[in-house]
A = this chain, B = another copy of it.
Amino acid sequence: MVNVAVLGYGTVGSGVVEVIGKNKDMVNKKSGQELNVKYILDLRDFPGDPYADKVVHDFEQIVNDDEVAIICETMGGVGAAYRFTKAALERGKSVCTSNKELVAKHGPELLQIAHANNCNYLFEASVGGGIPIIRPLNYSLTAERIEAITGILNGTTNYILTKMEREGADFADVLKEAQEKGYAERNPEADVEGHDACRKIAILSSLMMGMNVDSEKIYTEGITRVSADDFVYARAAGKTIKLLAKSTALGEDQVMAMVAPFMLDRDNPLAMVNDVFNAVLVTGNMLGDSMYYGRGAGKLPTASAVVSDVVDCARHLGKIIMCFWEEKDAGIADISEQESRYFVRVKASAREAAEAAFAGCETLDVPGREADFALFTKPVKEKDFAAKCEALGSDVESRIRLY
């Protein structure tokens, strides 16, 4: 029997307990032994809950119990979660987490502590919720040199963009509705400004490079400026708009990474990822593109990923599970020197100036629209593009990169 403790009895934590209970036969079979939830750490009490007797309020009780071999950290945040994780790993207890913020910020340090203490720090649930992506990157694509990773990594923004596309609605209206339905937080900034996706692509990029990619250095742009008018042109061009988190290896120790809305062709596999679904497209030098698709959030999908890590830890007690993520920082390429192609929506009155500024661009007019038109630029350096837009001033109504 392996004893497990769950830190935080919120959405994901209660899901972990539920998955271990409901799929007991399967989980025990795959673990090669019985998993037992011995403690649940939470500040609250849960009278009437079937697991109420497992609830404790003091982490020391858990970390000092030699019977506890595996800890699920489903608290979130980088304060107590960091201290508890570190203390557990130092005591040789493996930790499985859904906490992307902590993994992005302290991943390599915690991995190193784990390996120094002959235990494991696993984080399948930190990216893409229930989609198996960390394990495929670490154990399946081992014969590949991974060249690029592109993901739809945030369910809230993907839900909003899907609604905007289908209903022709504007961002603010769809956000409000998503908040009412509980698909978006009351304070939606982490999602709609791209910070959540940024942390996730930092984790994936770090695994791609085998070294640390600092999330705070990744260029990040949210979806708040995407409008119903942009979707009108996207549709006319056979495209759609998605918030993509994109990372490309530039040699051994440098990476080009960004989070931004992109316009992409309808026949791109990422274009069919709708609603709250997530997907990760991985480009390897032998395999080409492969894609991993599923529910990127939600109680049970996320908990399922945490429990798959628990099973892995149970099978590898006292053994280190391979994960290459050095503390050394990878270089992050200056985005202003990168080339992109852009969709630009421009006031009709500035047509001549815009076409001159973006020589060689393709233009698109949508029947019935008099006030504006769109152009698709040739590849242009980000900084040159910015300068041209500045010169055109408020005549540029919007701009979105092409994938």
Q: How far is the CA of A135 from the CA of B135 in the complex (A)?
A: 9
CB-defined contacts of A284 to chain B, threshold 8 Å: 304
CB-defined contacts of A306 to chain B, threshold 8 Å: 143
Q: Which residue of B lies closest to A268 (CB)?
A: B272
Known interface pairs A290-B292, A300-B287; A140-B269 also in contact (CB < 8 Å):
no
CB-defined contacts of A294 to chain B, threshold 8 Å: 287-291
Q: CB distance A290 to B132 under 8 Å? A: yes
Please encode chain A, from 254 to 296, with 1 for each CB lying within 8 Å of some chain B CB and 0 for all others: 0000000000000101011110000000001111111111110
CB-defined contacts of A130 to chain B, threshold 8 Å: 286-288, 290
Known interface pairs A141-B132, A142-B27, A308-B143; A274-B285 also in contact (CB < 8 Å):
no
Which residues 69-97 in A have Cβ within 8 Å of B in the complex? Answer: none
Which residues 297-343 in A have Cβ within 8 Å of B in the complex? Answer: 300-301, 303-308, 310-312, 315, 322, 324
A359 lies within 8 A of chain B by Cβ: no
**For A23, A31, A132, which residue has the most chain B Cβ atoms within 10 angstroms?**
A132
Q: CB distance A19 to B286 under 8 Å? A: yes
Q: CB distance B143 to A304 under 8 Å? A: yes
Q: CB distance B308 to A142 under 8 Å? A: yes
Name A295's contact: one of B287, B295, B307, B315 (CB within 8 Å). Answer: B287
Q: How far is the CA of A312 from the CA of B285 in the complex (A)?
A: 19
A238 lies within 8 A of chain B by Cβ: no
A383 lies within 8 A of chain B by Cβ: no
Q: Can you name 29 A-B pairs with beta carbons within 8 Å?
A: A23-B143, A23-B144, A23-B145, A23-B285, A26-B142, A26-B143, A26-B144, A27-B142, A29-B210, A30-B142, A32-B322, A124-B140, A135-B135, A135-B139, A139-B312, A141-B308, A142-B312, A143-B307, A267-B274, A269-B273, A269-B293, A272-B272, A284-B304, A286-B300, A287-B294, A287-B305, A289-B294, A290-B293, A291-B294
